Homo-oligomer: A and B are copies of this chain.
């Protein structure tokens, strides 16, 4: 007699809301489970393992698409695993780039922070005036749009780095 789990069991096991599990089912990361007579989902050990896998990959900041690929490979053990290598390499590169972005950002923020000494009001605020000064430095021409040879400050003002991991394709990628 195989052990079964309700969605609540699974959720507690993986420390996620039940909604997330339903979401993963909707997104086809998890299979549609059997149901009880009362229409409750009935999960097996394999489902539990699969959810753990997904959560761990999420903890590695992989997108659901990436995880889908990995799951597909797991379900096809005789396929080549070159895909995994390529994906992981790209992933590692992205993390490295992002680390660099954040370091530069931190330095910028710290420089800005250091401008605020004894000021008490907004009109004397070194940070606000610093933000204003930086915002006005890059005066691109009205016919802008060409990214060539832009200053770093202008580049930043015009293209905020997307700090959300693996943003949607519409978001600006660095």
Contacts from A to B (Cβ < 8 Å): 9, 12-16, 49, 52-53, 55-61, 70, 73-74, 76-81, 84-85, 88-89, 91-92, 95-96, 98-99, 102-103, 105-106, 108-110, 112-113, 116, 119-125, 127-128, 131-132, 134-136, 138, 140, 142-145, 147, 153, 156-167
Quote the shortest CB–CB distance from A53 to chain B (angstroms). 4
User: Contacts of A123 on B, CB cut-off 8 Å?
Assistant: 77-78
By DSSP majority rule, is chain A's interface helix, strand, loop, or mixed? helix
Contact present for B121 and A81 (CB under 8 Å): yes
A124 touches B81 (CB 8 A): yes
Contacts of A140 in B (CB 8 A): 12-13, 15
Complex: how many Å from CA A151 to CA B87? 27
Verify B157–A56 contact, CB threshold 8 A: yes
Our pick among B76, B99, B158, B163 for the contact of A122 (Cβ within 8 Å) is B76
Residue of A12, A60, A143 ringed by the most chain B CB atoms within 10 A: A60
Query: With A49-B135, A53-B135 in contact, is A95–B121 under 8 Å at CB?
Result: no
B161 near A164: Cβ-Cβ < 8 Å:
no
Q: Which residue of B lies closest to A89 (CB)?
A: B113
